[in-house]
Amino acid sequence: MYKNYTDKAIYDFQENKLIDENEEYRNLLTEYRDGIMLFELTDKTVWSKASVDTTGLQQFYEKNKEKYMWQPAIKGVVYKTVDETYAKKLVKELNNPNNKTPDEVAKAVNGDGSQGFVTFESGKYEKSRFPAGTKLVAGKYAPYFKNKDESYTLVDVKEVFDTPTQKP
């Protein structure tokens, strides 16, 4: 027991002297403590405050809303196919009056197995996302184009926004 006591006493003594004797360790502890204090301070004064200050956020938006603009864009459906064969099948299905929704069109091209040869997403997209010269006309689909990854994209345009518009 005496050996355990002496080892423990020596260990505690060394640990207490470590801060005085080891500058690198002392700096690390100081940096750690300061980092925790800085985090707590910014959390209280910035992040927590901002997350509940809806009035302040609204005022900030109103003051800076000219910075939040949609560039010329389209609203529509972007289809992506694995290769040109499926792009051609997609065009055929888009011309089929029986298929009304993007989901029906994709299912018709993919077949019963729904292999995922054609995927789609609907939304608003800036025109710069598409290759220069892509004809984007409301109510029509643009000719499909080849992507860098050898897949093909076809855009079914619903609406066109030629001028920048305000983001809500």
Q: Do residues 74 and 148 both lie within one domain?
A: yes
Among 48, 64, 80, which residue terminates a domain?
64
Return the pLDDT at 120.
Answer: 93
Give the Cα separation of 6 and 65 in Å (integer).
Answer: 70
Whether the full predicted model's pTM is greater than 0.85, yes or no, is no
Task: Using the structure block, give the residue that is written with the tokens 């789609």.
Answer: 120
pLDDT at site 149: 93
Q: Domain check: are 99 and 78 in the same one?
A: yes
Q: Do 56 and 88 belong together in one domain?
A: no
Question: Above 80 in pLDDT, residue 115?
Answer: no
How far apart CA 151 and CA 162 sit, in angstroms, is: 28
Residues 48 and 84 in one domain: no
Domain tally for the chain?
2
**Does 49 score more than 80 pLDDT?**
no
- Quick check: 160 pLDDT over 90? yes
pLDDT at position 155 = 94
Of 12, 36, 64, which residue constitutes the final position of a domain? Answer: 64
Estimate to the nearest angstrom the gap between the alpha carbon of 31 and the chain centroid. Answer: 33
Q: Are residues 80 and 159 in the same domain?
A: yes
**pLDDT over 90 at 158, yes or no:** yes
- In a domain? residue 109: yes
**Domain co-membership, 83 together with 139:** yes
Instruction: Identify the band that residue 113 occupies on the pLDDT scale cut at 50, 70 and 90.
Output: low
Across the chain, the runs of DSSP E, i.e. the strands, are 69-70, 73-81, 118-126, 145-146, 152-161, 165-166
SS3 152: strand
Q: How confident is the model at residue 99 (pLDDT cuts 50, 70, 90)?
A: low
